[in-house]
A and B are shown apart, each in its own frame.
Chain A
Amino acid sequence: MTEEPVIRIDNVSKSFLSEEKPVAVLENVSFNVGKEFLCIVGPSGCGKSTLLRMIDGLDRPSQGNVYFHGKPVEGPTPMMGMVFQTFALIPWKTVLENVEMGLAWMKITEEDRLRRSEKFIQDVGLDGFEASYPKELSGGMKQRVGIARALALEPEVLLMDEPFSSLDALTAEGLRKEVLEIWSNPQFSTNSVIMVTHNVQEAVGMADTVIVMSPRPGKVIDNVRIEMDRPRDQRDPRFYDYVDRIISKIS
C-alpha cells in the first residue's frame, strides 16, 4: 500500500438530475489501476461510460475522487487518450486532420505534428488513407482513426469506451488482436489501458483485471485477475471458468 497506483478511484458516487430529481448512477465505486490492461464490464446503463468520462476529467464525481498518480483529476490532460464508441470523428476533416486535431495540447511545430500523425496512421494500418474523409471509410477503419488519434498523444493511460461494439463481429475480432499487439509492443509508451465493454468474452480475452459492475446504480461487485498468458485461447477451460464466474455475478 506504499506505492501509489497509476489511477485510484476512491469511493466515487455520481448522480444526475432527471426531471429535477437526482438519480444515482454510480455508488461508492473504488478500485486501482496499475500498469495493466483493465476492463470494466457491466450491463448497459450501469454507469460505465460515466465512470470512464470521470477518469478522463470530462465530468466530476458527485462524491469521492479520481486520482492520477496521487493527484485528483481536474480536467482532460494529454496524459490520457480517449477512444469513443461512435468514433467521434469530425466529418469535414480528413483522416490526417482528425489525428492532428488530437494533438492540440502539444506545443510542437507543424512539421512534427504532421510527422507524428502520419506515423500513428501507419501504425494502425491506414497507410494511404491520410487524405480520405471519415464517410469514405468502413466502421473498422474509422475506429482505427480513433485509436491513432489517441495513440498519437503517446498517452500514459489509454481509455476506450466500447471501442468494438459498433463494429461487425469479424472486424471487431481483427481489431482486438491488433490492439493487443500494439499493447505488447515494448516501444509502446502507454502504461495502462482502461476499456469499457459489456461483452464478457471480450473482457476475459483482453484484460489483466476485470472490474465487474452491478446494474444501476453501478457498484463494483467483483474484481477478477485473469491469470492467463496472451494470446488466449477461447476454448481453454480456464477461459470458460472466468467467463462463467463473471456472468453469474452479473445476472
Chain B
Amino acid sequence: MDLALALQLNAVDPLNPINLPYFAARSLLRLTLAFGLSLGFALAYGIAAAMSRRASHVLLPVLDVLQSVPVLGFLPAVFIFVLTRVPGEGGQELASIILIFTAMVWAMTFAVITGINQIPNDIKEASKAYGITRSRYLRQVVLPAIYPELIWGCILAWGGAWYFIPVEEYATFGMTQVQLKGLGFFIAQAATESRLDSAIIGLVAMVLVIIAINRIVWRPLVARTEKYRYEATGGQRGFHARHGKLRSSLLKYEGRIANPIVTFFKYEKTNLSSFLETVPRVHVPPKVRERLARIFLVTRVIVIIGFLGLMVLVIFFLENSPIPTLQAALNQIQSFQPIKGCTGCLSGFPLLAYSTASSLLRLLAAYLIALGWTLLAGIAIARRQKLAKALIPIFDIGQSIPATALFPIVTLLILSRISSPMGIQLASIVLLLTGMQWYLLFNIIGAIHNIPNDISESTSAYGVSGKRFIREILIPASFPAIISGSMQAWGGGWNATIVSEYIVTGQQQVQQVAGLGAVLVNANNAGSAGTVVIATAIIIMTLTILIINRLVWHRLMKRADRYKFES
C-alpha cells in the first residue's frame, strides 16, 4: 500500500521525500542485480584462472586489458546498443545494470584470484597427498581462501558503483534522455529544479544508505575475515588490527578510481604486475618485472586507442551512418565546437589544446588546495590523539559520499551566490576538489600513523618538538604517501573533470567552462557527430596523464625511497 502511495505521489512531485525509500530501493535493486552478476562472473573467471595453469595464461592478461578499458567510452555505445534493441525504461535499466557491472566486476575478479594464490603450497600438497576430491577441495580450501580478499574486493566494487549511480541515473546521450528512478535521479532532479533542500535531503538519504550497508553488511563480514587468513600473513594481522579503520577507509575510497576513464593510472601499474608481486612463489627479478610493467603499460595504451576506434565504428554501425574515412574523422574534429554556430569560438585542435590546458590549470588549483588542507589536518591529527578520535569517523563519512552526488549540490550552492563566469570556475574547482582530496588525506594520515613508535618517542625524548618536529619528521615521513596519494588524486581528478566542467542547472540551463571534460560531454551530446571527438579527447587525456606521471610522479617516487622507514 505504501508503494502504491509512493507511486501515486511520484507523478505529482517526484521530489517529495516520501518517495525516497522507493527511490533508494530502486537504486539498491540495480546495484544488487549488477553485484550478483559480478559475483558470479568473478567466482567463475577467478576460479577458472586460478585452478588451471593453462587457462590462466589466457585469462589473466585478458582480464588486465579488459579492466583498463575506459568505462565512460562504453557509456554511449552501451546505451545506444541496448536501447535500439530494448526500447523504453526496460532498456535503460538493462543498460545501467550492465554499466554498474563493468564498474564492479574487475576489483572482485582480481580479489578472487589473489585469494586463491595465497593458499600456501604445503596445503595444496597436503590436499593432494590425502586424496581430497576436487569439490571438497573447492569447498574447504579454495572458498575459505577467497573469502577475505573477496570481501575487500566487494567493498571496493560497491564504492566504485555508488560513484556511478548519480551519473547513469540521469544522463543525456545524443537524442536519448536517460532518467531512471533512484537516489541519483532524485538529487539531479532537485538540482535541475534549483531545490537545494530536496537535493540535500536526497544526498543525506544516499549517505545513510551507504553507511547502513557498510554497518549491516560489510562490517560483520570483514570481522570474520581474520578467521580465514593464513599464518603467512600474520605480520599483516597486527597491521589490520591497528589500522583496520584507516585501511578500510582508503580502500573503500580507492574503489572510486576504478572509474570512468583512468582506472590504470592508479599507480600506473597494471593489476597484473602488482598481482605478480603478491605471489610469493613467483620470483620475478626486478629487471624483468620492470620490463613486464612497461610492456603491460604499452599494451594498455594500445588497447585503449584500439578500443576507442572500435567504439566509434560500433556507434556508426548502430546508427547506420557510413563508416568515416580518416579525412571525415579529421573533418569532424576540425569542425567540432562546444556551442553550435558560435563565431569567434575556438574549434578543432586549437580547442582541444586550450581545453587540455584549462583542465590542467583547474586540476592544479584544486590539487594545491587539497594538499594544503589535508597536510594541515594530518599534522593536527598526528599531534592530538583526541582530535584523531573525533575526526577520523567524520572523514570516514565524508569519503563515503560519492563525489558525483555532491556535484549538483555544490554547483547549486555556489552558482546561487556568485554569478558566472567566476562562479562556474569556482564551482568547477570545488567539484574537482571533492574528487581529489580523500586520496591525499587518507594516505597522509596512514603514513603518520605508520611512524614507528620508537621514532616518535625518541623525538620527544630529545626535545624535538613544534615546528621542527613538523618540518623534519612529520612532513618527510609523509612524503612517500603524499606522492602516491597525489597520483591517485590526479587520477580521481581527471575522472571528475567529466562531471565538473559541464553543469546543468535550473531549467535545463547549461553552464560550462573550457576543459577536456566539457569537450567529452558536448561530443557525447552531439551523438554520432561527436564520436571521433570523444575518442580523441580520451586519448589526449590518457596521454596527458601518462606524461605527467612519467615527468613528475615517477621521479618524485624514486626520491621518496629515502623517506621510508625500514620494516
Do A and B pair up? The answer is yes
Where the two chains meet, the residues of A that have a C-beta atom closer than 8 Å to any C-beta of B are 53, 56, 58, 76, 78, 80, 82, 84-88, 90-93, 101-105, 133-135, 149, 153
**Among candidates B454, B464, B468, B565, residue contacting A91 with C-beta atoms closer than 8 Å:** B565
Instruction: Decide if B508 is an interface residue (CB 8 Å cutoff).
Output: no
Contact in complex: B462, A101 (CB < 8 Å): yes
B89 at the interface (CB under 8 A from A): no
The B463-478 residues at the A interface (CB cut-off 8 A) are 463-465, 468, 472-473, 476
A93 and B472 CA atoms in complex are apart in Å by: 9
Contacts of B455 in A (CB 8 A): 88, 90
Chain B positions within 8 Å of A86 at CB level:
452, 454
Contacts of B452 in A (CB 8 A): 86, 88
Interface string of B464-506 (1 = CB under 8 A from A): 1100100011001000000000000000000000000000000
Cβ contact within 8 Å between A149 and B462: yes
How near does chain A come to B462, taking the closest CB pair, in angstroms? Answer: 4
B563 at the interface (CB under 8 A from A): yes
Contacts of B459 in A (CB 8 A): 101
Residue pair A82, B566 in contact (C-beta under 8 Å): no
A interface footprint on B311-324 (CB within 8 Å = 1, 0 otherwise): 00000000000000
* A-B residue pairs, 9 tightest by C-beta: A88-B458, A88-B454, A105-B463, A82-B461, A102-B462, A104-B463, A84-B454, A86-B454, A104-B464
| Listed residue (A53, A80, A88) with the most chain B CB atoms within 10 angstroms of its CB | A88
Interface residues of B (CB under 8 A from A): 452, 454-455, 457-465, 468, 472-473, 476, 562-566
Q: Is the interface of B mostly helix, strand, loop or mixed?
A: helix
Main secondary structure of the interface of A (DSSP, over half): loop
**What number of A-B contacts does a CB cutoff of 8 Å give?**
58
Q: Please, how many angstroms separate the alpha-carbon atoms of A105 and B462 in the complex?
A: 7
A-side contacts of B472, CB under 8 Å:
90, 93, 101
Known: A58-B457, A86-B452, A86-B454. A91 touches B462 (CB 8 A): no
Taken together as a complex, chains A and B put the C-alpha atoms of A86 and B455 apart, in Å, by 9
Whether B461 lies near A91 (C-beta < 8 A) is: no
Given A101-B464, A104-B464: A82 in contact with B563 (beta carbons within 8 A): no
Distance to closest chain A CB from B454 (angstroms): 4
Asked if residues B457 and A90 are in contact (CB atoms below 8 Å), the reply is no
A91 vs B563: C-alpha distance when bound (angstroms): 6
Q: A134 to B462: give the CA distance in the assembly, Å.
A: 18
Q: Which residue of B lies closest to A56 (CB)?
A: B461
Q: A88-B455, A92-B476, A101-B472 are in contact. Are A76 and B563 (CB under 8 A)?
A: no
With A85-B454, A104-B468 as contacts: A76 and B562 at CB distance below 8 Å? no
- Determine if B461 and A58 form an interchain contact, defined as CB atoms under 8 angstroms apart: yes
17 CB-based A-B contacts, threshold 8 Å: A80-B461, A82-B457, A86-B452, A88-B457, A88-B458, A90-B476, A91-B565, A92-B476, A101-B459, A101-B462, A101-B472, A104-B463, A104-B464, A104-B465, A105-B462, A135-B566, A153-B462
